[in-house]
Amino acid sequence: MFETQQGTLVIIGGSEDKEGECVILRRFVSLASGTRTGAGGSARIVIVTAATNQSQAVGETYSRVFKRLGAGEARVLDVANRQEANAAATYETVAGASGIFFTGGDQLRITSLLGGTKCDEALHDAYRAGAVIAGTSAGASVMSETMIVEGEDSEAARRNIVQMAPGIGLIREVVIDQHFAQRGRLGRLLTAVAGHPHMLGVGIDEDTAIVVRPDDIFEVIGSQAVTVIDGTQIRESNISESGPRAPLALTNVILHILPAGYRFDKKQRLLLLPEGADRAGRQ
């Protein structure tokens, strides 16, 4: 399934600017305008509010922002239960969008409401057809195959500080965390990578996002930074032997801090410097 996908992901760390230059949301609208409607065409955006219990207010806020940024259409899809998620009209709404946006809230609400439904099928069909899929906060975490459901902030890496569950699977071999620097989540992302060292840990700060292209290269945009944790070269780990509250031992973890303009090839685990620089670095 992944090899045939042609869409773009915009994965946002939460609390993105909605009133100023709106760098991240403007990029999403721009990408959605050129995806299936052609250059200069109007974006057809569907705002999925399944993560929040304040769907009307949250949906209306994003609808106003996207229309102000030039979207031709920005409609709210409030899926209240799995019956609605399985409705033919829901499939048609999602499959026909050029941009699909997941709001923040609770990522487990998204997977429990949409997983295995016609809405979920439409999402993947739209992505394979070239749609842009974006998500902020909980809507960011849910993008991966395996997601962080909850965990303790501002804690050292310990075996029991993070809980994980299946996500919607738009990006593989990556685990996403959001509100990253602002909530002190390095310890819990390190713990997630220690338990799944084949997965790239990506911690996204607020008002910051990664734009993931079909070639598996992502670019950092926004005002803060993205922390990338590569565990494939870990030499020593005690996660299987340590007690639940004992600190983890991890050696030779590769860590990158990437502000706007930096890119990363997640397939090759290759850091790419901002365009215009004359070198690239590989760890």
Identified catalytic residue from 16, 63, 144, 179: 179
Q: Does 137 qualify as catalytic in the annotation?
A: yes
- Residue 280 in this model has a pLDDT that exceeds 60: no
Tens of pLDDT, residue by residue over 42-66, are 899 999 999 999 999 999 999 999 9
Nearest to 110 by CA among 48, 173, 46, 63: 48
Residue 37: the pLDDT is: 44
DSSP 278: S
258-261: long-range contacts, CB 8 A cutoff, minimum separation 24: 258/220, 258/225, 258/226, 258/227, 258/228, 259/220, 259/224, 259/225, 259/226, 260/208, 260/220, 260/221, 260/222, 260/223, 261/219, 261/220
Q: In the Cβ-directed half-sphere of 127, how many Cα atoms lie within 13 Å?
A: 25
Residue 279: the pLDDT is: 53
- Residue 3 in this model has a pLDDT that exceeds 90: no
Band of residue 273 on the pLDDT scale cut at 50, 70, 90: very high
Task: List the structure tokens of 112.
Answer: 């429990």
Q: Does 16 qualify as catalytic in the annotation?
A: no
Residue 180: the pLDDT is: 98
Residue 276: the pLDDT is: 73
Tokens 């705002």 belong to 47
Q: Does 124 qualify as catalytic in the annotation?
A: no
Mean pLDDT value of segment 182-198 = 97
What are the sequence ranges of the domains in the chain?
2-271
Q: In the Cβ-directed half-sphere of 246, how many Cα atoms lie within 13 Å?
A: 10
Tens of pLDDT, residue by residue over 13-40, are 999 999 999 999 999 999 999 844 444 4
Can you identify the CATH homologous superfamily of domain 2-271? Class I glutamine amidotransferase (GATase) domain (3.40.50.880)
- The fraction of the chain above a pLDDT of 70, given in percent, is 93
Residue 40: the pLDDT is: 43
Identified catalytic residue from 16, 155, 206, 219: 155
